[in-house]
Chain A
Amino acid sequence: MNYHWNWGVFLQEAPEGGVRYWELLVAGLGWTLAVSCLAWVIALAAGVLVGTLRTVPGRLLPGLAAAWVELFRNVPLLVQMFLWYFVLPELLPPLKRLLADADPTTAQFAAAVLCLGLFTSARIAEQVRAGIRSLPRGQREAAAAVGLTTAQAYRHVLLPMALRIVVPPLTSEAMNLIKNSSVALTIGLAELTFRARELGEYTFSYFEAFTAATLIYVAIAMSANRAMAWIERRVAVPGYIAGGGR
């Protein structure tokens, strides 16, 4: 392959004026991180709640939680993105009027965060449910036997262990979320992949643009991985062997 790499392209000024391409990439990275972090907070909170509700006694709450998971897991992410950004405002006229005067970036950002957060929450809920189910049945009984209420049993006995068990699968969910955040470019949010594609289109330096984006995604994924590994070590239970050996 005799492609002429042109790494100098990042230092060139973008047609928008006043900024260089590398600065646009960094700005894109900023949006990618902002969307991913906020969506992660939503996904964790909703996912732990919904995953827990799937395992509580009774029918209503587990049923509602199951419906949540099916809804957000089975509709393609791209379709969900369009629904949040294009369809929801049509269904809610007051929201549409509000958005008409607002900076479109705000709406793109909000739609991307909600969409990715809820989509990921369904996946986290499944992991949390599996984590709770993997605990010995006797743990629930032991908690009840000392007089703890169901809520107390979850808060002090079941969730602390279940959440520890699901840290490794949650690491891959975090990575998926970061990668999925690139879908936000379809509603116009100028995140990392959006900027890389823009750079390619303006300068024809597609290889350089996407090589840079790839390296940045890899760096983010590795950082997320390290952060989760650190958490895993921090919360490790002395002497506990996963599965308990029975």
Chain B
Amino acid sequence: MAMIEMRGVSKWFGDFRVLDGCTTRVEKGDVVVVCGPSGSGKSTLIKTVNGLEPFQEGEVRVDGVSVAARGTDLTRLRSRVGMVFQHFELFPHLTVLRNLTLAQERVLRRSRAEADAKALALLERVGLRDQAAKHPGQLSGGQQQRVAIARALSMDPVVMLFDEPTSALDPEMVSEVLDVMVGLAREGMTMMVVTHEMGFARQVASRVIFMDQGRIVEDVAKDAFFGAPQERSPRAQQFLSKVLAH
């Protein structure tokens, strides 16, 4: 069964159509990279998966549960879908440790001791155990993003969403974050990753989705995307030549 299933998802902001009949499937263990020009609807698309962006038409299912259905417990669904943001969005007034335990305690009802243990193990994994007592503002961007990944993982998600996780980082910090993401991918985490890091896509993606003007223009296996550029749409070729030039 597909971990994420989108069928004909459309969304309007007023008259403006941000998503236009988007359909795709993400199987368990798949890593799907979503790319496309700025404003093409990538963020909006992945935010429909955890219900952060409501939509007017179509259906999104996560592990079989419909996101938009009336009876769906959205907070429960969200706690099973980890999300990492471009600007980290750590909670600045809480220590790194508390950033990782807040939702474990409040949403999953884990005890403080249980949550702490889980948090410290995850911080260890992203190489930041010694920063547990600091506040986010005292860390570098790369460290903050690794904490944000650990925070998402602390909920034991079945799916991880990433929205341009490295585009707000100084260049020298990009790889420390990508390394963590590659590790996750290799362990079999189901991931949807909005990124222009084509190196990451080549390394671990199963498929690449290319979006333009709210539409999924390409949705193909990685090898087809990178290996047969002449078969891609003109827009995708144009985009690829730009991002690969860097």
Q: List the interface of chain A (C-beta within 8 A of B).
A: 136, 138-139, 141-149, 152, 156-157, 160-161, 164, 237-241, 244, 246
Residues of A within 8 A of B106 (CB): 148, 152, 156
Q: List the interface of chain B (C-beta within 8 A of A).
A: 47, 50, 52, 75-76, 78-79, 81-83, 85-87, 89-93, 102-103, 106-108, 134-139, 151-152, 155
Q: Could you say which of B103, B107, B134 has the most chain A C-beta atoms within 10 Å of its C-beta?
A: B103
Task: Report 6 cross-chain contacts, Cβ distance below 8 Å, ordered by A residue.
Answer: A145-B52, A146-B151, A147-B79, A239-B138, A239-B139, A241-B137
Nearest Cβ in chain B — how far from A30, in angstroms?
Answer: 37
Residues of A within 8 A of B82 (CB): 145
Give the contacting residue for B50; candidates A143, A145, A157, A160; CB below 8 A: A145
Nearest Cβ in chain B — how far from A136, in angstroms?
Answer: 7
Residues of A within 8 A of B50 (CB): 144-145
Q: Given the interface contacts A160-B93, A161-B93, A237-B93, does A144 sit within 8 Å of B52 by beta carbon?
A: yes
Residues of B within 8 A of A139 (CB): 89, 91
Residues of B within 8 A of A146 (CB): 78-79, 102-103, 107, 151-152, 155
Give the contacting residue for B134; candidates A145, A239, A241; CB below 8 A: A239
Bound CA–CA A156/B108 (angstroms): 15
Residues of A within 8 A of B75 (CB): 144, 147-149
Q: Given the interface contacts A142-B89, A144-B52, A152-B106, does A239 sit within 8 Å of B136 by beta carbon?
A: yes
Q: Could you say which of A139, A145, A146, A240 has the most chain B C-beta atoms within 10 Å of its C-beta?
A: A146
Nearest Cβ in chain A — how far from B120, in angstroms?
Answer: 18
Bound CA–CA A141/B47 (angstroms): 10
Nearest Cβ in chain A — how far from B128, in angstroms?
Answer: 15
Nearest Cβ in chain A — how far from B161, in angstroms?
Answer: 8
Residue pair A147, B78 in contact (C-beta under 8 Å) = yes
Residue pair B78, A145 in contact (C-beta under 8 Å) = yes
Residue pair A156, B102 in contact (C-beta under 8 Å) = yes
Bound CA–CA A123/B121 (angstroms): 46
Residue pair B107, A147 in contact (C-beta under 8 Å) = yes
Given contacts A142-B83, A238-B134, 12 further A-B contacts (CB under 8 A): A136-B87, A138-B89, A141-B85, A144-B52, A145-B82, A146-B79, A146-B102, A147-B107, A148-B106, A148-B107, A149-B75, A152-B106
Residues of A within 8 A of B92 (CB): 161, 237, 240, 244
Residues of A within 8 A of B108 (CB): 147
Residue pair B135, A238 in contact (C-beta under 8 Å) = yes
Nearest Cβ in chain B — how far from A218, in angstroms?
Answer: 34
Name A143's closest neighbour in chain B (CB-CB). B91
Residue pair A240, B87 in contact (C-beta under 8 Å) = no
Q: Given the interface contacts A138-B87, A161-B93, A240-B92, does A145 sit within 8 Å of B81 by beta carbon?
A: yes
Bound CA–CA A156/B92 (angstroms): 11
Residue pair B76, A147 in contact (C-beta under 8 Å) = yes
Residues of A within 8 A of B81 (CB): 145
Bound CA–CA A146/B76 (angstroms): 9
Bound CA–CA A147/B87 (angstroms): 19
Residues of B within 8 A of A147 (CB): 75-76, 78-79, 103, 107-108, 155
Nearest Cβ in chain A — how far from B11, in angstroms?
Answer: 16
Give the contacting residue for B137; candidates A141, A149, A152, A239; CB below 8 A: A239
Bound CA–CA A164/B81 (angstroms): 30
Residues of A within 8 A of B86 (CB): 138
Nearest Cβ in chain B — how far from A15, in angstroms?
Answer: 57
Residue pair A240, B135 in contact (C-beta under 8 Å) = yes
Name A146's closest neighbour in chain B (CB-CB). B103
Residues of B within 8 A of A246 (CB): 87
Residues of B within 8 A of A161 (CB): 91-93
Residues of B within 8 A of A148 (CB): 75, 102-103, 106-107
Nearest Cβ in chain A — how far from B177, in angstroms?
Answer: 17
Bound CA–CA A161/B78 (angstroms): 23
Nearest Cβ in chain B — how far from A147, in angstroms?
Answer: 3
Name A152's closest neighbour in chain B (CB-CB). B106
Residues of B within 8 A of A241 (CB): 137
Bound CA–CA A141/B103 (angstroms): 13
Bound CA–CA A145/B83 (angstroms): 6
Residues of A within 8 A of B91 (CB): 139, 142-143, 156-157, 161
